[in-house]
């Protein structure tokens, strides 16, 4: 039943991408950049995508509540009763948007009982849409073609490709990397990090640093449906049904044990 929503959600994400690109093509002075309470940037594109997605989701599934980064001031007293809801980041990677490097995404996930069961990650500049539904596998739509994607399943004793944040480097990463004989860094912004593990471009995405629930929900289901494991420090289940919207550190991995381990 959940999977039947995918075509509509893909269309909504791509429409939001078009709204973002309309602003992306303007002079940067027209981005209307401001700072949120946590000093992260907010642009006209964030709000344009937010308004479009919320309006379309409300038409598609009026019975389901929506938690969007740009309208996240909803108390836990209300959210704790949500069995199913939409989790949305209208523009993930606002810093990438401002830098014009193309590494930003639209993230839409359907959460059921605290777990993502459907996710769409759309990268407007790259014209790529990654998507998945629970039990249905993960897919990439690009240049008019759709293909299933699977993780690479690299061994720890081979060259390990590690995807990391372009805008949020972490000092803890160096300690993590010391366990590998050989590694290669693959820097990229936004939830594309989940997707690069999912499609086999990278082998592991270790996150040491702050992210929010809407940053990870859609990429989470894409990665797991492609065969990766996603584990959050100190949380065994219901990652997306907590009072705290700030995620702990987490790991997205396609690594397998080295031969003889």
Binding site for Mg(2+), residues?
69, 89, 91-92, 215
Percentage helix, strand, coil for the chain under 3-state DSSP, each rounded to 5: 30, 30, 40
Q: Which residues are annotated as a binding site?
A: 69, 89, 91-94, 215
Give the H or E element holding residue 204: strand 204-207
Q: Which long-range contacts (CB under 8 A, 24 or more apart) does 53-57 make?
A: 53/12, 53/13, 53/16, 53/88, 53/90, 53/106, 53/108, 54/88, 56/12, 56/15, 57/12, 57/86, 57/88, 57/108
Q: Which residues are annotated as a binding site for substrate?
A: 69, 91-94, 215
Query: The tokens 């396609």 sit on which residue?
Result: 254
């Amino acid at each position: 039943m959940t999977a039947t929503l995918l075509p509509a959600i893909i269309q909504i994400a791509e429409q939001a991408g078009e709204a973002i690109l309309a602003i992306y093509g303007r002079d940067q002075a027209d981005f209307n950049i401001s700072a949120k309470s946590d000093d992260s940037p907010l642009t006209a594109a964030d709000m344009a995508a937010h308004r479009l997605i919320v309006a379309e989701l409300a038409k598609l599934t009026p019975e389901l509540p929506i938690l969007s980064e740009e309208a996240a001031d909803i108390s836990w007293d209300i959210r704790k009763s949500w069995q199913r809801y939409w989790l949305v980041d209208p523009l993930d990677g606002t810093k990438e948007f401002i830098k014009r490097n193309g590494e930003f995404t639209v993230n839409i996930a359907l959460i059921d009982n605290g777990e993502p069961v459907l996710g769409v990650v759309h990268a407007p500049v790259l014209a790529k849409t990654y998507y998945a539904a629970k039990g249905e596998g993960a897919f990439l739509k690009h240049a008019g073609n759709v293909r299933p994607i699977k993780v690479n399943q690299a061994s720890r004793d081979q060259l390990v490709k590690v995807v990391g944040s372009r805008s949020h480097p972490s000092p803890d990463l160096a300690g993590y990397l010391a366990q590998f004989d050989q590694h290669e860094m693959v820097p990229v912004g936004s939830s594309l990090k989940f997707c690069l593990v999912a499609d086999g471009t990278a082998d592991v995405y270790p996150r040491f640093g702050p992210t929010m629930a809407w940053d990870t929900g859609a990429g989470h289901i894409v990665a797991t449906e492609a065969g990766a494991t996603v584990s959050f420090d100190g949380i065994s289940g219901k990652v997306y049904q907590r009072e705290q919207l700030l995620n702990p550190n987490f790991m997205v991995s396609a690594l397998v044990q080295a031969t003889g381990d």
